[in-house]
Amino acid sequence: MLAGCLEKSMDIDSKRRHAMALDLVTERRIKFAAVIRAMRSVPRHLFVEEALAAQAYSDNALPIGFGQTISQPYVVALMTGLLDVREGMSVLEIGTGSGYQSAVLAEMGALVFTVECVPELHAQAKERLEALGYGNVRFKLDDGTLGWPEKAPFDRILVTAGGPVVPAPYLDQLADPGRLVMPVGEERGSQTLVAMLKENGEVRRETHGRVAFVDLVGRHGW
């Protein structure tokens, strides 16, 4: 009977993930096929508190404790798509949080180096991702605004917290060519989603609309 219950639960989860992915394509007009495939594979309900599991596939940000959130699926899809990740790339992720974004990047075949400054979230995400079998994720507990210089350069850098500027260490640690995606804004809780494209020693900046993220804290943040 237990096996039957687990199979039923997995079936329900699969349907909810499919519905979330379909909504991202049809309603949100997300065109990044590889991102949609990855998000359809990751069991998002395992990355939120059990009491919020029923809301895991709604297009909303949800609290994960310690003043942090798991981003809404649309924002995850948009940022990951703008990052233009390819299999085998090294990706620096700033702000591990629940580990959901790390899992999406790992599903896409990236080698993920993720940095978190909250000890409890770092430990929980590490345990969760290792239990789910994501062997291509490396974890560090540190000031995320410093990046991870020992593992640089990175093909891609994804920042899941908002800061007043793009910290200089990120651009130093970004490969050439390379791409960085981050919410940037002089007001806390209100940012512009920015993509920085580094090529031939030059950096070009694109903007992709307004977003709202928790603070990027540390030496080069708030």
Catalytic residue among 71, 90, 98, 102: 71
Which residue in the block uniquely carries the two structure tokens 């560090």? 140
Residue 205 CB burial class (10 angstroms; 0-12, 13-18, ≥19): exposed
Instruction: Indicate the SS3 state at residue 143.
Output: coil
Which residue in the block uniquely carries the two structure tokens 């979230």? 121
Annotated catalytic residue 98:
no
Ramachandran category for residue 88: left, alpha or beta (phi over 0 → left; psi -120 to 50 → alpha): left
Query: Residue 186: which residues within 8 A CB-CB, separation 6 or more?
Result: 164
Instruction: Indicate the SS3 state at residue 55.
Output: helix
Please report, for residues 24, 30, 89, 205, the alpha-carbon distance to residue 69 in angstroms, rounded to integers and kept in the order given. 20, 22, 26, 27
With contact defined as beta carbons under 8 Å apart, do 197 and 179 qualify? yes
Token pair for 204: 């070009």
Over its C-alpha atoms, the chain yields an Rg (Å, rounded) of 17
Where in the sequence numbering do the catalytic residues fall? 71
